[in-house]
Amino acid sequence: MPSSRTPATPPAEPESPPRRAVLRRPAAPAAPAAPSTATQRALAALQGRAEPAPRPPARPARPPARGNVWRADAAPPAAPRGAVQAAAGRPAGPGAASAPARPPVPVKPAAAADGSARLNKRMAELGLCSRREADDWIAQGWVKVNGAVAAMGLQVLPTDRIEVDKRAQGRQEQQVTILLHKPVGYVSGQAEDGHTPAVALINPRTHWRDDPGRMRFSPPQLRGLAPAGRLDIDSVGLLVLTQDGRVARQLIGEDSTVDKEYLVRVQYGEVATDVQAVFPSAQLARLCHGLELDGQPLKRAKVEWQNPEQLRFVLTEGKKRQIRRMCELVGLKVVGLKRIRIGRVTLGNLPVGQWRYLLPHEKF
């Protein structure tokens, strides 16, 4: 049964009847200031409701999306979380935890669409000099392009006319190229591990007395004299040292096609005599083509038996210790290696440890 008791009147205001509180939604979209905690409790008591939980502050309205648009006066858009983590070297998500960060791929600059190139590069391509020599000549004011003195770093077109001063040509004619019969125990390049560089053998005492050339040695000929190719410390034979950048480019440039010939004495396992009789012909074919060094396939080579214990190699490339490493891949051990020819220039009768000048009519 419903109770017959009359509810007690609020003690706060006995002289007036209770008024109903009405909550109105604000007309404007902007939210008014939030009521105080005391006011919320009073309203709840008048309506017979439980005390409301404190309302969190309203978030500012988000502007409507307008696609991938960024105004110059606005802040730049934030990068995605995955991109920021990837840039910091951290995985972008749970699934990427095991994936290692990939190193950036180097981008090779594209060639100019109009065929232009730096002046020093074009001069080297034309065979006028090396890039270093070109820079020196340009700095001296000895190079003109279309009749005007060229500046360093100038870009030129294939149709531009390049002129070189006679003073540069005269200096180039004084440059020497030397042929050395390198002995064992000398390194072809800079001194390393206490071993003497081959250029130390270039002096008047080691000049071949039967040199057919008419040049005489002078100390300035050692200035800038550098090996055009390598011959390892355990090998002997023909080594070219030159001051002429044109010769260096011809022999060791990226586009060089000059071949080199070697005589290589080998051993197959314990067999040191008549190696040809026991060495498989299929392995000899691999020496000619099919081997890789440093993860790259080697260019085709010419390899054949010179005698039962000696192979003849003809190569058009010169990786570090290439022949020795090639032989190791097919089970051969090199016990002696001698270079006898570079292009059309041969070692001939040049004694070990002596040198001569490259003659004017000799071409690689």
Q: What is the CATH T-level fold of the domain 117-173, as seen in this structure? A: 3.10.290
The CA distance from 349 to 211, in Å, is 10
Q: Are 262 and 338 in contact (CB under 8 A)?
A: yes
Q: Are 181 and 167 in contact (CB under 8 A)?
A: no
Q: What is the pLDDT confidence band of residue 85, given thresholds at 50, 70 and 90?
A: very low
Of the candidate ranges 65-74, 132-141, 232-241, the one whose mean pLDDT is the lowest: 65-74
Looking only at the bridges linking them, the beta strands covering 186-187 and 296-297 are: unpaired
What dotted CATH number matches 260-342? 3.30.70.1560
pLDDT tens for each residue of 156-203: 998 899 999 888 878 878 899 999 999 999 999 877 778 899 999 999
Angle at 349 between CA 323 and CA 340, to 5 degrees: 15
| Average pLDDT taken over every residue of the chain | 79
Provide the pLDDT for residue 96. 44
What secondary structure does DSSP assign to 20-45, as a single string? -------SSSSPPPPPPHHHHHHHHH
- The phi-psi region of residue 153 (left if phi > 0; otherwise alpha if psi is between -120 and 50; otherwise beta) is left
Q: What is the pLDDT confidence band of residue 59, given thresholds at 50, 70 and 90?
A: low
Provide the pLDDT for residue 180. 97
Provide the pLDDT for residue 94. 46
Residue 83 has pLDDT above 50, yes or no: no
pLDDT (average), residues 46-73: 48
Instruction: Select which of 136, 160, 211, 232 is catalytic.
Output: 232
Domains 177-255+347-357 and 260-342 share a fold: yes
pLDDT (average), residues 133-156: 90
Active site residue 234: no
Provide the pLDDT for residue 33. 53
Provide the pLDDT for residue 352. 97
Domain spans, the chain: 117-173, 177-255+347-357, 260-342
Question: 148 — phi, psi (to 5°)?
Answer: -110, 145
Q: Are 341 and 334 in contact (CB under 8 A)?
A: no
Provide the pLDDT for residue 233. 93
Provide the pLDDT for residue 256. 87
Q: How far is CA 150 from the centre of its chain?
A: 30
Provide the pLDDT for residue 170. 81
What dotted CATH number matches 177-255+347-357? 3.30.70.580
Percentage of the chain lying above the pLDDT 70 cut: 68
Provide the token pair at 143. Answer: 């190079």
Residue 73 has pLDDT above 70, yes or no: no
Residue with more model confidence, 133 or 262: 262
Strand partners, 313: 262, 303
The CA distance from 93 to 103, in Å, is 19
Residue with more model confidence, 323 or 66: 323
Q: What is the pLDDT confidence band of residue 304, given thresholds at 50, 70 and 90?
A: very high
The label of the residue with tokens 């003497």 reads 196
Provide the token pair at 55. Answer: 């309302």
Provide the pLDDT for residue 11. 53
Residue with more model confidence, 340 or 123: 340
